[in-house]
Chain A
Amino acid sequence: MSAVIEGAAIKEQSRRAAERGAGFLPRLVRQPIVVACSLVLLVIVLACVFAQWVSPYEPLEQDLQNTAAGPSASHLLGTDQLGRDILSRMLHGGQVTLLGIVQAVAVCAVIGLFLGLTAGTLGGWVETVAMRLCDLLLAVPGLVMLLVILGIYGNNEAAAMITLGVIMAPTLARVVYSATIAVREELYVASARVAGLTSFQIMRRHILAGVTGPALTQISIVAAVACIAEAGIGFLGLGVAPPAPSWGNLVTDAQNVMPISAWMLVPTGGIIAVVTLSLTLLGNGIRDAYMGRSSGSSKAFSWRALAVKVSQAESPAGGGAAPQGQEPILSVKGMTVGLPRGSSEVTIVDDVSFHVAPGEAVAIVGESGCGKSVTISGVLRVLPMGAHVTAASISFKGTELTSLSEREMNAYRGTGIGFISQEPISSLNPAFTVGHQLEEAVRLHRGVGKGQARQIARELMARVRLPEPEAVAKKYPHELSGGMAQRIAIARALAGEPELLIADEPTTALDVSVQCEILDLLRDLREQTGMALILVTHDWGVVAEACDRALVMYAGQVVESADVQSIIAHPAHPYTRALLQSSSVGIAPRQLLPVIAGTVPAPGYWPHGCRFASRCELAEDACRTGPIPMVTLEESSAARCIRTDVDELVRT
């Protein structure tokens, strides 16, 4: 359950993160480790390529005064048993090794990209043939083949590396293939086809761009493997014939002098390790940049920042209409939720107060980015890492939730407070049957044995009016329709016999007729059990159908709260009114709809005064000077607007 809420918030967050920096290259270059690895590789490659000029000695030049010596001023990395300069031999040997890597990578890339791209874009029989060819190549034992080739061609380095490239090509082909078919299904490829681009243009502009990241990552790994393989071949004496150097030969030499001087192993092994490591890290960097991950403020991943911080504010901040009559089941006073952004924190929900009476259905209405979902996540304390909830009081049935530890809080989630999400199918685990998941929830919340849990699960399924519960229980989530999955999700939420059910856009993803059935079900369940409901939605139809009272949120604040009938008939806040008018109901067909100009200000960019002022027709100077309080209008309704008197005129 928590994963779902978190998922929603994180999705929003990562979208924001992506908005900050677009473009693959800038994201790549911004990672220090990528820059460092690239520099290291560049230096090594250049030094090897220009070895003739750079290296202090000839590779075969002997200094018999200094055999098997350690580092010194004349021999920076020491000498081998024949007194040859190790640095010079490494630089010259690097030419052989690097050339081998280039050969292997080139062969692998050409074959892999060709097979993967053609199979992915053309499909049909080409796809079948290409992918079966890959399977065939994967089935060939690589090492044996390599040794056979070396056996046939005798110390032929190029033949070995080309073979290595061929052996590794199918893995790359598969990576490219799967990336291609993922991109092929993207809407923007359909758009490009509608735009009239040829298949070749589509491949070049869209598919290649989508494939580059995964392919580069895979290629960097291929290069690293090739580096080690080349060294291995040299070490076994199957590569270039001594005395010509290669990194593999140097390791063999180092092994031979080990009894005299162990030092030689350090530079010769080290260079292979450094190159391999750099290639791998570079691959990781490419993957991160491609996935749009920010390369990490380390703060976000520190253990201390993991837990959600909850603190109790000193004085109850005023606002929401005070509950009257019966004791509310949930009462939230002055709750503020902040999420980490970079090194600072940004407020998403600002001083929200509301209450829910037993058996009451309260809607939280608003557009995306207004903080509806984060409000309920704050109550349930299921927020992304590093989130910070401050509240004067969040009390559920008289228990102060803010003072509970994470473990104590867990006892309330699911048991006292149930939750259902917008995506019923993805909120269920695809690996287990729905019956199993339901029984698991029953056992967890009711502490009963297997047999009894099974029976209760069947009762729950009957209560949510699932036809043929026995048959449905044996199904996996992907086999269910959206409506059935949502019923299962509701049944699971009911397993803990909650007194409050929180539903986050429970019907948004469903067809209209199914939506109607689900809302009817929720209403009936409420009447049977006296359960209260908080329903988060952006749809006024759902509000009118399912709820008694509505809270309208705008830019992290509650801007209006009233019972549903009156809020729809007589909205007091200009935003509520504008939102209601935006729906095409009551407007002559094909005439322009009244619109609210502009957009919802993003968290962190909220103005000091009324947050709706810049989009409001009634705004005057007083609206912009300071925070606007909630103004109580009638006994149970309030609006965060100082011009409700004018609203009266507008209304009539």
Chain B
Amino acid sequence: MSSLLEVRDLTVMYRGRGRRKDKVALEGVSVSLNEGETLGLVGESGSGKSTLGNTVLGLVRPERGRIGFDGNDIAGLTGAARRKLSTQIQAVFQDPYTSFNPHRTIEQSMGETLANSPPMSRRETRARVLAMLERVGLDSTALSKFPAQFSGGQRQRISIARALLPEPRLVVCDESVSALDLSVQAQILNLLLELQRERGVAYLFITHDLSVVRHMSTRIAVLEHGKLIEQGDAAGVTDEPSQPYTRRLISASLSADAELQRDRRSTRRAMTLLAADATGDRSKLADEVLRTLEHQAVTEVFAQLVPQSRALALPLSRGLAGVADVDGVTALRAAVLELAPRTAEAMTPAAMLTFVQEARARKCSALFSRGQSGMLYGLIRDLAVAIETGDRARALELVGSFDEPLEPSPHPNGARAGEHTIESQA
């Protein structure tokens, strides 16, 4: 399928005035979106995600680059040619309170998007507006009301109705649900999904909320400081991000899973401790970081929708097939961290990564020299099984007992890691 929207090397500058310098908002960004699909744009504030949306909408003029829409370059189109596109490209903005003129009725505001559609009678316009309003769950009494008479969720429904009125092929949703409460947000997301299924409209879905973007998108593009960091299909980007920035973004987004939060927190804490402690026993602290990271990796994998032990399978089979050497054991332990690519080592700064790797190598060679590498294989095999069967408790117990033969006494630092040792002994 050819792309509906094809953005190539888009560069946008905001011209400074007076003493303010020019600011590069987007630099050489290329993304594409197919008909009837959703491209999620994520990034933190100032990443240029809204600028990209506004450039597609023609509200911002690009400096360089091409915006292909249905095969035609629409970058920098102005006047009548651009206005003609309004029947094809529409938008739903963030703030349901300011996206309507408070002095105009809903019928007047909604009718606007039909300005460039083939002329029709007043009655026909009203019928279309009403049909669309009814589709989003409002009735004819809404027509003569003013925006102030609706709640935030209702206004966002009206925004969606207004955008879809001329039957566009692309709708830019710029933080369309960010200002809404959770339950209202769910209603609006459902509405957007249903309308997409019914009408085959494509969405350019801009948000800072990773869980929302993952839920809505078929493809995801990640932006940082105006540059495209990563782009790919939604599951790939969120479950196996390739770029450190994406991983950081994902690991920083909070989940309602209290246990996962606790594990992420203890990892962060152990790492801060390691980073701050210049004199103390570094190897002990590095062990602690390794332990918390592994523990977190296993919790992370269970927090994913479909837990996968794929990462474990390859080194396991390799190790079982060949001779068990130190490298094989080390690879196996490294594979545990690979379970949770959303955090894993990308969270650790380079210096820390060295410490963690050293810790891993040290522990593995200790295991190997005691001839206990077979035990580690066994544990990891059990872990893979536990993950496949979704047995969270068992998996956590297994990962907690990795170093038990090596360190029978509870770990001196960090009560939590200690707890696990005790639990698994019991």
Q: Does B associate with A?
A: yes
B83-110: CB near A (< 8 Å → 1, else 0) gives 1111101110111001111111000110
Interface contact A579-B45, CB-CB below 8 Å: no
B134 to chain A, nearest CB (A): 17
Q: Which residues of B contact A582 (CB under 8 A)?
A: 182-183, 185-186
A587 at the interface (CB under 8 A from B): yes
Q: Which residues of B contact A22 (CB under 8 A)?
A: 102, 145-149
Report the separation of the CA atoms of residues A24 and B148 in the bound assembly, to the nearest whole angstrom.
12
Q: Are B182 and A511 in contact (CB under 8 A)?
A: no
Chain A nearest Cβ from B108, distance in angstroms: 8
Task: Report the Cα distance A582→B113, complex, angstroms.
Answer: 31
Pick from B44, B216, B218: contact of A512, CB under 8 Å: B44
A511 to B207, CA, bound (A): 11
Looking at the assembled complex, report how far the CB atom of B265 sits from the nearest CB atom of chain A, in whole angstroms: 7
- Take A191-B91, A205-B101 as given contacts and tell me if A511 and B44 are in contact as well, using a CB distance cutoff of 8 Å: yes
| Given A22-B102, A516-B252, A583-B211, A565:B84 Cβ within 8 A | no
Q: Is A636 an interface residue (CB 8 A)?
A: no
Query: In the docked arrangement, what's the CA distance between A208 and B94, Å?
Result: 24
Interface residues of A in 539-554 (CB under 8 A from B): 539-545
Chain B residues within 8 Å of A544, by CB? 254-258, 260-261
Bound Cα distance from A160 to B323, whole angstroms: 106
**Contact check: which of A24, A196, A593, A594 meets B103 at CB < 8 Å?**
A24
Give the distance in Å from the alpha carbon of A520 to the alpha carbon of B265 in the complex. 8
Q: Say how far B317's CB is from chain A's closest CB, in angstroms.
A: 30
A515 adjacent to B91 (CB under 8 Å): no
Stretch of B63-71, B188-196, B286-294, B373-381 on the interface side = B188-196
* Cβ contact within 8 Å between B208 and A511: yes
Q: How far apart sit A319 and B109, CA to CA, in the bound complex (Å)?
A: 48
Cβ-defined contact, B211 with A585, below 8 A: yes
Asked whether any CB of chain B lies closer than 8 Å to the CB of A277, the reply is: no
The distance in angstroms between the C-alpha atoms of A406 and B131, with both chains bound, is 56
Cross-chain contact A542 with B181 (CB below 8 angstroms): no
Query: Do A194 and B57 touch across chains, with their CB atoms under 8 A apart?
Result: yes
Q: Is A23 an interface residue (CB 8 A)?
A: yes
Find residues 40-97 in chain B having any chain A CB closer than 8 Å to their own CB: 44-45, 54, 57-59, 82-87, 89-91, 93-95
CB within 8 Å of B: which of A164-195? 186-188, 190-195
A578 and B183 within 8 A (CB): yes
CB pair B91 A513 closer than 8 Å: no
A421 to B59, alpha carbons, bound, how many Å? Answer: 34
Task: Report the bound CA distance from A200 to B269 in whole Å.
Answer: 59
A520 touches B268 (CB 8 A): yes
A539 and B190 contact, Cβ closer than 8 Å, known pairs A589-B234, A596-B183: no
Q: In the bound complex, what is the Cα–Cα distance between A425 and B258 (angstroms)? A: 30
Contacts of B186 in A (CB 8 A): 582-584, 593-596
Q: A582-B182, A589-B234 are in contact. List 7 more A-B contacts (CB 8 A).
A: A19-B148, A22-B102, A193-B57, A195-B90, A196-B113, A197-B115, A591-B193
Tell me, yes or no, whether B112 is within 8 Å of chain A by CB: yes
- Which A residues, 470 to 524, have Cβ-Cβ distances below 8 Å to chain B? 482, 511-513, 515-516, 519-520, 523
Are B103 and A580 interface neighbours, CB within 8 A?
A: no
- Roughly how many angstroms separate A367 CA and B253 CA in the complex, as a whole number? 20
User: Nearest Cβ in chain A — how far from B105, in angstroms?
Assistant: 9
Asked if A368 contacts B181 (CB within 8 A), the reply is yes
Residues of B close to A539: CB separation below 8 A: 254
Q: A191 CA to B44 CA in the complex, in Å? A: 24
- For A366-383 the 0/1 string (1 means CB < 8 A from B) is 011000000000000000
State whether the Cβ of A65 lies closer than 8 Å to any Cβ in chain B.
Answer: no
Distance between Cα atoms of A198 and B112 in the complex (Å): 11
The reply to whether A541 and B86 contact each other, CB–CB distance below 8 Å, is: no
Task: Report the nearest A residue to B168, measured CB to CB.
Answer: A194
Sample (27) of A-B pairs whose CB atoms are under 8 Å apart: A24-B103, A188-B109, A191-B100, A194-B89, A196-B83, A196-B85, A196-B87, A205-B104, A205-B108, A205-B112, A367-B181, A367-B183, A482-B45, A513-B252, A519-B254, A520-B265, A523-B265, A540-B256, A542-B254, A544-B257, A544-B260, A545-B265, A582-B183, A584-B211, A588-B305, A589-B217, A589-B234
A positions within 8 Å CB-CB of B: 15, 18-19, 22-24, 186-188, 190-198, 201, 205-206, 209-210, 292, 367-368, 482, 511-513, 515-516, 519-520, 523, 538-545, 564-565, 568-569, 578-580, 582-596, 599
Taking a contact as CB atoms under 8 Å apart, the answer to whether A584 and B215 are in contact is yes
B83 touching A198, Cβ below 8 Å:
yes
- CA A99 to CA B153, docked complex, whole Å: 52
Measured CA separation A593–B187 after assembly (Å): 8
Given A187-B98, A593-B189: A545 in contact with B91 (beta carbons within 8 A): no
> Inside 8 A of A187's CB, which chain B residues have their CB?
93-95, 98-99
Contact among A482, A545, A599 with B261 in the assembled complex (CB-CB below 8 Å): A545
Cβ of A195: which chain B residues have Cβ within 8 Å of it? 86, 90, 112-113, 115, 162
Contact with A191, one of B54, B99, B194, B261 (Cβ below 8 angstroms): B99
Measured CB to CB, the residues of B under 8 A from A are 38, 44-45, 54, 57-59, 82-87, 89-91, 93-95, 98-104, 108-109, 112-113, 115-116, 145-149, 151-153, 159, 162, 181-187, 189-190, 193-194, 208, 210-212, 214-218, 234-235, 248-249, 252-261, 265, 268, 305
Q: What are the residues of chain A within 8 A of B115 when measuring CB–CB? A: 195-197, 201
Bound CA span A523–B266, Å: 12
Q: Which residue of A lies closest to B190 (CB)?
A: A592
Q: Tell me, rounded to whole Å, the shortest Cβ–Cβ distance linking A19 to chain B.
A: 5
CA distance A584 to B254 in the complex (A): 13
With contacts A542-B254, A583-B182 taken as known, whether A590 is within 8 angstroms of B193 at the C-beta atoms is yes
**Chain B residues near A205 (CB, 8 Å)?**
101, 104, 108, 112
Residue among A196, A582, A589 facing the most chain B CB atoms (10 A cut-off): A196
How far apart are A215's CB and chain B's nearest CB, in angstroms?
Answer: 14
Q: Bound state CA distance, A564 and B254, in angstroms?
A: 14
Instruction: Find out whether the CB atom of A589 lies under 8 angstroms from the CB atom of B149.
Output: no
> Least Cβ distance of A440 to chain B in Å?
29
Closest Cβ of chain A to B16, distance in Å, is: 15
Bound CA–CA A513/B217 (angstroms):
22
Give the nearest-CB partner of A23 in chain B: B146
Given the complex of chains A and B, what is the CA–CA distance between A59 and B4 in angstroms? 79
B258/A568 in contact, CB under 8 A: yes
CB-based nearest A residue for B234: A589
Bound together, the chains give a CA A579 to CA B186 distance in angstroms of 10
B258 partner residues in chain A, CB cutoff 8 A: 544, 564-565, 568-569
Partner of B101, one of A209, A367, A516, A587: A209
Q: Please, which residues of chain A bring their CB within 8 A of the CB of B184?
A: 367, 599
Q: How far is the CA of A22 from the CA of B116 in the complex (A)?
A: 29
> Smallest CB–CB gap between B423 and chain A, Å?
16
Instruction: Give the nearest-CB partner of B98 in chain A.
Output: A187
Q: Does B193 contact A599, Cβ atoms closer than 8 Å? A: no
Please, which residues of chain B bring their CB within 8 A of the CB of A193? 57-59
Which residues of chain A are near B45, meaning CB under 8 Å? 482, 511
Q: B112 contacts A192, CB within 8 Å?
A: yes
Are the CB atoms of A592 and B194 closer together than 8 Å? yes
Which chain B positions have C-beta within 8 A of A513? 44, 248-249, 252
For the complex, what is the distance from the CA of A545 to the CA of B215, rounded to whole Å? Answer: 22
Give chain A residues whose Cβ lies under 8 Å from the Cβ of B116.
196
Please tell me which one of the listed residues B95, B254, B259 contacts residue A541 in the complex, with CB atoms under 8 A apart.
B254
Provided the pairs A583-B211, A590-B193 are in contact, do residues A543 and B256 lie with their beta carbons within 8 angstroms? yes
Q: In the complex, A564→B162 CA distance in Å?
A: 41
Would A568 and B104 be within 8 Å (CB), given that A190-B93, A582-B183 are in contact? no
Q: Which residue from chain B places its CB closest to the CB of A188 in the assembled complex?
A: B101
Which residues on B sit within 8 Å (CB–CB) of A585? 211, 255-257
User: B87 contacts which chain A residues (CB < 8 A)?
Assistant: 196
Closest A residue by C-beta to B44: A511
Instruction: Tell me the smallest distance from the CB of B157 to a CB of chain A, in Å.
Output: 12
Kindly list chain B residues whose C-beta atoms are within 8 Å of the C-beta of A580: 256
If the complex has contacts A188-B100, A578-B183, A582-B182, are A515 and B252 also in contact, measured as CB distance less than 8 A? yes
Residue B305 contacts which of A367, A586, A599 (CB distance < 8 angstroms)?
Answer: A586
Q: Which 4 A-B pairs have the closest CB atoms?
A: A541-B254, A196-B86, A22-B146, A540-B256
